[in-house]
């Protein structure tokens, strides 16, 4: 489903061209879960941004369902990103002025939709909010929620367009231990029930171990452990 072939990434930064990722090769099957651990600054976020088409590799190919993301123009890449890839970050990035339901439906607005499609988006949003224990908060604003609840809403928003792959960059990083565990369970449950592949970058060994496959990123190199 997703394949990275000889991916290299460097930033043309001062004082010199620093290489962040070297010859990264990775295949992720549909519905698989993988975790990536590694020290701060090792390139986990860089890797997720490349997989998610938020950034482009310096060389190498990233294929999503056989489409080479690198060959796409920005508008086309944005369309694929919106439809096939979901992101959850350490911070939730919900819009404070919108309700929970409006936040969740935001990614659906980029596409032209019929009345029927809009109705089924809303139905899916409410189903997912129910699944994550957030249905009662549909009309609440993010400011009225706890950190863990906001992350749940962010997860629902990431899944609303039925992505093939969910990229989670330290999703539990800002949560206390118990809330982090609950979110982890939720991500793994959704990984199964929504058959969405899951890539988690994390500093938590406990979270990393829950994924089917575990990788380590160090010295610019990605290795399966």
Ligand X SMILES: Nc1ncnc2c1ncn2[C@@H]1O[C@H](COP(=O)(O)OP(=O)(O)OP(=O)(O)O)[C@@H](O)[C@H]1O
- Tally Cβ neighbours within 10 Å of residue 208: 20
CA angle 162, 167, 171 (to 5 degrees): 115
Which structure tokens are listed for 25? Answer: 């090769």
Residue with Cβ nearer ligand X (87 or 137): 87
Cβ at position 45, least distance to ligand X in Å: 3
Q: Report helix, strand or coil for 39.
A: coil
The entry of ligand X, Mg ion, none that residue 11 binds, CB within 5 to 8 Å by partner kind: ligand X
Strand partners, 28: 2
d(CA 211, CA 155): 17
The entry of Mg ion, ligand X, none that residue 13 binds, CB within 5 to 8 Å by partner kind: ligand X
Residue with Cβ nearer ligand X (11 or 144): 11
Which of positions 17-76 make contact with ligand X (CB under 6 A)? 20, 38, 40-46
Cβ at position 171, least distance to Mg ion in Å: 11
Cβ at position 174, least distance to Mg ion in Å: 13
Cis peptide before 15 (omega within 30 of 0): yes
- The size of the interface with ligand X (CB under 6 A), counted in residues, is 11
């Amino acid at each position: 489903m997703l394949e990275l072939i000889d991916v290299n990434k460097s930033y043309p930064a001062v004082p010199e061209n620093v290489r962040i990722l070297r010859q990264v090769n990775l295949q992720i099957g549909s519905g698989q879960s993988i975790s990536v651990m590694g020290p701060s600054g090792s390139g986990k976020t860089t890797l997720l941004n490349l997989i998610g088409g938020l950034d482009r590799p310096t060389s190498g190919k990233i294929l999503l369902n056989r489409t080479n993301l690198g060959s796409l123009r920005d508008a086309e890449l944005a369309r694929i990103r919106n439809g096939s890839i979901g992101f959850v970050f350490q911070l939730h990035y919900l819009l404070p002025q919108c309700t929970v339901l409006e936040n969740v439906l935001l990614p659906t607005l980029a596409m032209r939709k019929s009345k029927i499609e809009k109705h089924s988006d809303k139905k899916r949003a409410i189903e997912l909010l129910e699944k994550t224990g957030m249905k009662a908060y549909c009309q609440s604003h993010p400011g009225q929620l706890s950190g863990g609840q906001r992350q749940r809403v962010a997860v629902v928003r990431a899944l609303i367009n039925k992505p093939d792959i969910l990229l989670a960059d330290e999703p539990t990083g800002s949560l206390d231990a118990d809330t982090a565990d609950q979110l982890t369970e939720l991500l793994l449950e959704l990984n199964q029930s929504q058959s969405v592949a899951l890539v988690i970058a994390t500093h938590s060994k406990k979270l990393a171990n829950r994924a089917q496959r575990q990788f380590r990123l160090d010295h610019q190199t990605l290795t399966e452990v």
